[in-house]
Amino acid sequence: METDWSKVIERYLGGELSAEGIEAFEFELSLNPDLRSELDLHKMIRESVFRSAERLAIQSIGTKYHFRLKLKKWLMFTSVVVTVSITIALVGLNNGASESKPQDARFVTETQSNNEPQAIETIDSTGSSMVESTPVKDYTSPRIFRRNNDRIVENTVPVISVPVPAKSDDIISDNSQNKESAVKSPELKDDRKNASRKKQRLIFKTGLQNPTDVKEGIADSQIPSGAHWTLGNFMIYASEEGITFHNFLTDDLIIVGRTPKDQLKPPTNVPKDKEGVEETDPEKDKGKIYLQNY
Amino acid sequence: MFSDNINKELNALYKKFPDIKKFLGTLGCDATTAEDIFQEALLIYSRKRKLDDFELNVEPFFFVRSTCKLLWYNESRKKSNQQTYSLEVDLPQEVEDWMQKEFKILSIEKKLNEIGEQCKELLQLFYVKAWSMDEIAKKIGLRNDKVAKAQKYRCIQKLKDKVQEDVQVESLTF
């Protein structure tokens, strides 16, 4: 009986009863308080179903509100972090810029040492390039050439790091009699253009050619004896005493020379002063670097 | 679910939730309960807005805030052993009646979650979205509209039984 009333009530609330049906049902309602309670319950069921859907919609509004709030907080936090990071970076850059103006040569050497690349692109005497991943610790301390006419004398195979100079005469010239091992200027110029675009330093390996070096497989990266190269205002001269570097650059261009430790060799002849050279003991002097200023 | 206007109003009101939370906090309500009460008040407001005879004499925010206060009053009255706040004035009888009806509907709504997902979906599709029985049958995987209609009556009966169980428990308790 209850189920039947349930169906009638649903049809009544759904507007499915005929006019006569509505009249009969409402007459029954006026007589039957239980039916009135039942009708109220059905109305409340409908209400609760609506309300359930509405509650979901309001919860969805709440979820969106909290998401936007979190997003806002996250954006604020991120902007603060980015601002602080940029400030720290700018302060660091300013400090770095002030440190790059040293008062003496020793200070320059230390600073340059910290800035040395971990992987070194090497441009050999044939103009081809290769990348060395030798760690910095496997090289000697950097030797800085920046004062006019700085000169180093050694017969090892140093790695030379030359800033890409914005000079008009940035060509490599060669007066070597052995043309096969001389630097191919156009190729190196191309490399220098690439390096300039990347704001890099030109780094190449050189050394004095001798039979020992040939055995070690580095002859192709050496200057033949008697040859000299110029790179802008920078000159490398090879002689029987070893390699001589001349730097005629101004103070704002720094050339760094380093030697792989496994290739260190004592010079055969080291200039004592301007007047002459002094014979040295190769075993005793092994690993020493001779720097002479003129 | 809501019209665009009501939806905009509800979104705008939700942005004032921090004020409501602070207000309820002064009455001893914790943050989680405050949000439940606030959502309930928004629900009541949205339903009132749909009524033709509803006249709003105050800003919607103040209506919602007053509703929150009444709801929190009832909540704290139910948890009388943890009561931290009581209204200083007696509620008018009509407000009491209205509140009792609201709680009755809320109680049925909770029972709706106990009759199974299929029943709940069927009733929502029929009453809220006004789908035909044929559409509902296809949606929830019933054979045809007659089976869907029979299922609807079974769901209503199940819900009524749950409500009756609740009434019997209350009559035994009090």
Express each pLDDT in A237-280 by its tens digit: 666 555 666 666 555 556 666 666 666 655 544 444 444 444 44
The answer to whether residue A107 sits within a structural domain is no
Distance from CA of B170 to the nearest CA of A (A): 17
Distance from CA of B101 to the nearest CA of A (A): 9
Same domain, A43 and A82: yes
Task: Report yes or no: A45 at the B interface, CB cutoff 8 Å.
Answer: yes
Same domain, A185 and A259: yes
A26 pLDDT band (50/70/90 cuts)?
Answer: very high
Indicate if the pLDDT at residue A196 is higher than 50: no
Distance from CA of B85 to the nearest CA of A (A): 26
B46 contacts in chain A (CB < 8 Å): 54, 58
Mean pLDDT score, A181-208: 46
Task: Report yes or no: B106 at the A interface, CB cutoff 8 Å.
Answer: yes
Predicted-assembly ipTM surpassing the 0.90 threshold: no
Same domain, A69 and A200: no
Same domain, A195 and A274: yes
The answer to whether residue A109 sits within a structural domain is no
B106 pLDDT band (50/70/90 cuts)?
Answer: confident
Q: Would you call B14 and A48 a contact, using CB atoms and an 8 Å cutoff?
A: no
pTM of the model: 0.50
Q: How far is C-alpha A122 from the chain's CA centre?
A: 19
Same domain, A177 and A267: yes
User: Which residue out of B108, B119, B125, B145 would a mutagenesis test of the A interface target, given it has the greatest number of A Cβ atoms within 10 Å?
Assistant: B108
Asked if A62 and B14 touch (Cβ cutoff 8 Å), the reply is: yes
Q: What range defines the domain where residue A83 resides?
A: 1-99
Task: Report yes or no: B43 at the A interface, CB cutoff 8 Å.
Answer: yes
Give the pLDDT confidence of A41-50 residue by residue, as tens digits: 999 999 899 8
Selection from A250, A251, A253, A255 nearest residue A236 by Cα: A255
Asked which of A99, A134, A165 is the last residue of a domain, the reply is: A99
Distance from CA of A68 to the nearest CA of B (A): 10
B-chain residue closest to A57, CA distance: B1
The answer to whether residue A253 sits within a structural domain is yes
The torsion angles phi and psi of A15, rounded to 5 degrees, stand at 70, 30
Higher pLDDT, B129 or B1: B129
Q: Copy the structure tokens of residue B108.
A: 């049925």
- Chain A 223-242, residues with CB within 8 Å of chain B CB atoms: none
B12 pLDDT band (50/70/90 cuts)?
Answer: very high
Indicate if the pLDDT at residue B126 is higher than 50: yes
Q: Which CATH number fits domain B94-174: 1.20.20.10, 1.10.10.10, 3.40.50.970, 2.40.30.60?
A: 1.10.10.10
B-chain residue closest to A69, CA distance: B15
Q: What is the pLDDT of residue A105?
A: 32
Task: Report yes or no: B1 at the A interface, CB cutoff 8 Å.
Answer: yes
Same domain, A136 and A184: yes
Q: Would you call A44 and B127 a contact, using CB atoms and an 8 Å cutoff?
A: no
Total structural domains within chain A = 2
Same domain, A139 and A55: no
The answer to whether residue A106 sits within a structural domain is no
Asked which of A99, A129, A160 is the last residue of a domain, the reply is: A99
Please state, in angstroms and as integers, the Cα–Cα distance from residue A49 to each residue in A75, B40, B140, following that order: 39, 15, 17
User: Which residue out of A2, A44, A54, A65 would a mutagenesis test of the B interface target, given it has the greatest number of B Cβ atoms within 10 Å?
Assistant: A54
The torsion angles phi and psi of A152, rounded to 5 degrees, stand at -120, 140
Same domain, A74 and A139: no
> DSSP character for B91?
P
Same domain, A142 and A283: yes
Same domain, A145 and A262: yes
Asked if A146 and A126 touch (Cβ cutoff 8 Å), the reply is: no
Longest dimension (CA), chain A: 137
Same domain, A139 and A263: yes
Amino acid B123 reads L
Asked which of A99, A134, A160 is the last residue of a domain, the reply is: A99
Give the pLDDT confidence of A122-178 residue by residue, as tens digits: 444 344 343 444 444 466 777 666 555 555 555 555 656 555 543 333 334 344 433
Of the partner residues B42, B123, B160, the one whose CB lies closest to the CB of residue A41: B160
B90 pLDDT band (50/70/90 cuts)?
Answer: low
Query: At a CB cut-off of 8 Å and minimum separation 6, what does A207 contact?
Result: A155, A156, A157, A158, A213, A218, A221, A222, A223, A243, A263
Q: Would you call A51 and B124 a contact, using CB atoms and an 8 Å cutoff?
A: no
A-chain residue closest to B15, CA distance: A65
The domain segmentation of chain B, as residue ranges, is 1-89, 94-174
Q: Would you call B128 and A42 a contact, using CB atoms and an 8 Å cutoff?
A: no
3-state secondary structure of B64: helix
The answer to whether residue A267 sits within a structural domain is yes
Q: Would you call B108 and A46 a contact, using CB atoms and an 8 Å cutoff?
A: no
Q: Would you call A61 and B124 a contact, using CB atoms and an 8 Å cutoff?
A: no
Same domain, A136 and A13: no
Task: Report yes or no: A73 at the B interface, CB cutoff 8 Å.
Answer: no
DSSP H stretches of helix in chain A: 2-13, 19-31, 33-99, 105-114, 185-197, 211-215
Q: Would you call B1 and A57 a contact, using CB atoms and an 8 Å cutoff?
A: yes
